[in-house]
Amino acid sequence: MQYHIITYGCQMNKSDSERIASVIEKYGLSPAPKKENADLIIINACSVRQSAMDRIYGQIRYLKLKNKKIKIFLTGCLLAKDKEKLRNKTDLIFKIKNLLKLSNFLNQKLKKQISDDYFQISPKYQNKFSAYIPIMTGCNNFCSYCVVPYVRGREYCRSPKKIIKEIKNLIKNGCKQIILLGQNVNSYKSKGVNFPKLLKMINDLKGDFWLAFFTSHPKDLSDELIKTMAKSKKINPYLHLPIQSGDNQILKKMNRKHTAENYENLIKKIRRKIPQIAISTDIIIGFPGETKNQFQNTAELMEKIKFDMAYLNKYSPRQQTAAFKLKDDVSQKEKKRRWAVLNEILKKTALENNQKLIGKTIEVLAEKNNFGRGFNFKDVQFKGDKKLIGKFVKIKITQANPWSLKGELI
Which residues make up the interface to ligand SF4 (CB under 6 A)? 139, 141-143, 146, 148-149, 183-184, 217
CB nearer to ligand SF4: give 322 or 409: 322
Q: Which is nearer to ligand SF4, 200 or 219 (CB)?
A: 219
Compute the least distance from the CB of residue 165 to ligand SF4, in Å. Answer: 27
Closest distance between ligand SF4 and the C-beta of residue 255, in Å?
Answer: 8
Residue number with CB closer to ligand SF4 (153 or 207): 153
Q: Is the peptide bond before 215 cis (omega within 30 degrees of 0)?
A: yes
Closest CB 155 distance from ligand SF4, rounded Å: 9
Q: In terms of CB distance, is 254 or 364 closer to ligand SF4?
A: 254
> Least distance from C-beta 192 to ligand SF4, angstroms?
24
Task: For ligand SF4, give the closer residue by CB, 90 or 183.
Answer: 183
CB of 148 to ligand SF4, least distance (A): 4
Q: Which is nearer to ligand SF4, 155 or 308 (CB)?
A: 155
Give me the sign of the Cα torsion angle 295, 296, 297, 300.
positive
Residues 29, 31, 37, 38, CA torsion sign: positive
- Taking the C-alpha atoms of residue 33 and residue 13, their distance in angstroms, rounded to an integer, is 21
- The Cβ of residue 53 has, within 10 Å, a number of other Cβ atoms equal to 22
Strands of 210-214's sheet in order across = 130-134, 177-181, 210-214
Nearest to 248 by CA among 237, 257, 240, 235: 257
* Nearer residue to ligand SF4 within complex by CB, 153 or 289: 153
CB atoms within 10 A of CB 124: 17
Cβ contact 120:113 at 8 Å: no
Query: Where does residue 259 rank: exposed (0-12), middle (13-18), buried (19+ CB within 10 A)?
Result: middle
Q: How far is the CB of 145 from ligand SF4 (least distance, A)?
A: 7
Provide, rounded to whole angstroms, the least separation between the CB of residue 92 and ligand SF4. Answer: 26
Number of residues written out for the chain: 410
> Residue 245, CB half-sphere, CA atoms under 13 Å: how many?
31
DSSP 344-373: HHHHHHHHHHHHTTTT-EEEEEEEETTEEE
The least distance separating ligand SF4 from the CB of residue 146, rounded to whole angstroms, comes to 3
194 — phi, psi (to 5°)? -95, 180
Q: How far apart are CB 11 and ligand SF4 at their closest, in Å?
A: 13
Q: Tell me the residue type at 322.
A: A
| Helix-strand-coil split of the chain, %, nearest 5 | 40, 25, 35
Q: Which is nearer to ligand SF4, 260 or 393 (CB)?
A: 260
Of 149 and 407, the one with the shorter C-beta distance to ligand SF4 is: 149
Between 143 and 251, whose beta carbon lies closer to ligand SF4?
143
- E strands within 62-191? 71-77, 92-93, 130-134, 136-137, 156-157, 177-181, 189-190
Q: Taking the complex as a whole, how short is the minimal distance between the CB of residue 85 and ligand SF4, in angstroms? A: 22
